[in-house]
Amino acid sequence: MSAKTTTKSTKKPRKKKKTDTSIKPHIAKISVNIGVGEAGEKLTKSQKVLKSITGQQPVETLSRTTNKDWGLRKRMPIGCKVTLRKKAAEHFLIQALKTRDNRIADYSFDDQGNFSLGIPDHTLFEGQKYDPDIGIFGMDISVTMEKKGFRIKHRRINPRKIPQRHQVTREETIEFVKQKFNAEVV
């Protein structure tokens, strides 16, 4: 018969799971929109303003429905927009925040981590001057936030849903804006 021998266990203690700090939110795109409500000369002027501020050629936005009270027909041009990505998006957001004294209202952030803000006057941007021939145009700015790996949602082959733990939250975006752009959320 064999005697019982006691041996020490050589198992290592389990490590606690770490949260992946390399997955931080970033700006996926910024959409800048000027709505004028009609086609013609006013729309052409708004396109010039948008091109001078962003440096990109704007695209016309078309109405989706007919509304006789407002004088709109379906597919009638009623505004223009530009989509900015990467470095151009960050540079534009810095300029837009300067026009608002680096302040964003807390109700501007949604639950998916995106946020929007409005600029009432395009002449508030650096280098823009009032021109009586053009007038004054306001604009809406929408910022879409993502984390690395969001491509699986948009890919053509085998698209999948983004898991809950990987989605951008409102708090993450607020912290990102405070750290990256020194913005004050009020």
Condensed to tens digits (0 to 9), the pLDDT of residues 101-135 reads 888 998 999 998 899 999 888 888 888 888 888 88
Residue 30's pLDDT is what?
A: 94
| Lowest model confidence (mean pLDDT) among 11-20, 21-30, 86-95 | 11-20
- 76: pLDDT strictly greater than 90: no
**Alpha-carbon span 29 to 19, nearest angstrom:** 26
Helix (H, G, I), strand (E, B) or coil at 68: coil
Higher model confidence: residue 103 or residue 8? 103
| Lowest model confidence (mean pLDDT) among 3-17, 98-112, 113-127, 166-180 | 3-17
| Lowest model confidence (mean pLDDT) among 7-16, 94-103, 116-125, 145-154 | 7-16
Residue 88's pLDDT is what?
A: 92
**pTM exceeding the 0.95 threshold for the entire prediction:** no
Rounded to the nearest 5°, which phi and psi values hold at 93?
-65, -35
The model's confidence at residue 8, banded by pLDDT at 50, 70 and 90, is low
- Segments in the chain forming alpha helices (H): 41-54, 86-99, 151-154, 170-181
Residue 142's pLDDT is what?
A: 94
Residue type, 74: K
Domains and CATH numbers, the chain: 26-185 (3.30.1440.10)
For 61, the enclosing helix (H) or strand (E) is strand 59-62
